Amino acid sequence: MKIATKFIHAGSEPDPSTGAIMTPIYQTSTYVQASPGNHKGYEYARSQNPTRKALEDAYAIIENAKHGLAFSSGVAATDTVLKLLQPGDEVIAASDMYGGTYRLFSKVYEKFGIKFIYVDMNNVDNIKAVITTNTKLIWAETPTNPLMNIVDVKAVSEIAKAHKIILCVDNTFASPYLQNPLDLGADIVMHSATKYLGGHSDVVQGALMMNDDKLREQLYFIQKSCGAVPGPQDCFLVLRGIKTLHVRMQRHCENGIKIAHYLRNHLKVDKVFWCGFEDHPGYAVASKQMRGFGGMMSFELKDKNMEATMKVLSSTHLFSLAESLGGVESLINHPASMTHASIPREERIKNGLNDGLIRLSVGIEDADDLIEDLKNAIG
Ligand SMILES: *Cc1c(COP(=O)(O)O)cnc(C)c1O
């Protein structure tokens, strides 16, 4: 089945009691049993909910996975993967990734005795160099937030398999429309569904997708035991979002191409970080593992004076200054003080995330209007 058909029909079966074409919002905390243990597979809503089940089925389908699990946020999904580990275990993660993931690793899990080793994943040999017998998880994100670096998922998965290490890929930036890490050999895919999957900036949610039955059982056990489950309203919103994911992504990609080139040709703009440029170091891998380049990009002005950067950030009208990404409306963000403020400044700059970096989430408005907005703000 082709992507467009798959995304629209994923997880949606007419409601058995009424035939409703959209899965109802089952706003209930419990389910009545005829006699103890005599139920229809639903006992208590932390463990199972029909709206969540429809979404979890959809999650599996859109990532070509056998199983999907829904969580109350992207970070809760990440947290669930980390709970597979024991004290003494080691995790290899990218030195350039979402600030909240770094915060969870360094501020929460390090104190439980889990060790994190950060490497530049542009070169997979850097991963090989730090593997030990304690390495249990490789955490990759591609394209990375906010520098748009590319990790070769297939190459990393071969290393992971050879050493029996779980590979989890944060696929938030690409969305399943552009990339399917399980098909490239990853064991688990993680999404902040708050972003492209929901797509309308009205819900916070996370997802995990996997093929392995045992891994699904372990992750479901943690989901149920720790309780970071989404409510049925939120599941409904993401289910609805997924139905238009392919149409939205097509426009995000088209607008992304136009805006990346506009910025690159702008006299006042220095570097533009976008993986669709042929001279981007990850271009060859991105072209191989992705079906397009999306609407996320970052740039720096030639004028390194912070006032110039701040002026752009506060002068756009269509690009709203806000954290988050992946919604239909365009957003502008200052990673150093907003989304990535939890990473120590030295660490940030060492990894190439400068104080003057501006990140754009290009929405699906008319590209000419967006360019006009940037033109007025940059001058
Ligand atoms: C937003 C984001 C997360 C965290 O997801 P939440 O839904 O905000 O908890 C993780 N990874 C990436 C790449 C993100 O952009």
pLDDT at 221: 98
E strand residue ranges, 131-220 = 135-141, 166-170, 188-192, 206-210
Q: Which residues are catalytic?
A: 46, 98, 170, 195
Measuring CA to CA, which residue among 112, 119, 113 is closest to residue 138?
119
Pull the structure tokens for residue 164.
């029996």
Calpha distance 207→204 (Å, rounded) = 11
Q: Is 63 in the pocket of ligand 1 (CB under 6 A)?
A: no
The helix (H) or strand (E) run that includes residue 335 is: none
Q: Is 140 in the pocket of ligand 1 (CB under 6 A)?
A: no
> Amino acid identity of 94?
A
**Each residue's pLDDT expressed in tens, for the chain with a length of 379 residues:** 899 999 999 888 899 889 999 999 999 999 999 999 999 999 999 999 999 999 999 999 999 999 999 999 999 999 999 999 999 999 999 988 899 999 999 999 999 999 999 999 989 999 999 999 999 999 999 999 899 999 999 999 999 999 999 999 999 999 999 999 999 999 999 999 999 999 999 999 999 999 999 999 999 999 999 999 999 999 999 999 999 999 999 999 999 999 999 999 999 999 999 999 999 999 999 999 999 999 999 999 999 999 999 999 999 999 999 999 999 999 999 999 998 988 889 989 998 999 999 999 999 999 999 999 999 999 9
What distance in angstroms lies between residue 14's CA and the mean position of ligand 1's atoms?
Answer: 31
Q: Is 206 in the pocket of ligand 1 (CB under 6 A)?
A: yes
Strand partners, 135: 90
Strand partners, 70: 207
What distance in angstroms lies between residue 192's CA and the mean position of ligand 1's atoms?
Answer: 5
What distance in angstroms lies between residue 74's CA and the mean position of ligand 1's atoms?
Answer: 5
Q: Is 331 in the pocket of ligand 1 (CB under 6 A)?
A: no
Tally of residues, the chain: 379
pLDDT at 342: 85
pLDDT at 112: 97
* Residues 6 or more apart whose Cβ sits within 8 Å of residue 34: none
pLDDT at 322: 96
What distance in angstroms lies between residue 115's CA and the mean position of ligand 1's atoms?
Answer: 22
Mutate to test the pocket of ligand 1, among 72, 80, 96, 98 (most ligand atoms within 8 A of CB): 98
Q: Give the number of the atom of ligand 1 that is nearest the alpha carbon of residue 144.
A: 13
Q: Is 192 in the pocket of ligand 1 (CB under 6 A)?
A: yes
- Where do the domains of the chain lie, and which CATH numbers do they carry? 3-243 (3.40.640.10), 245-378 (3.90.1150.10)
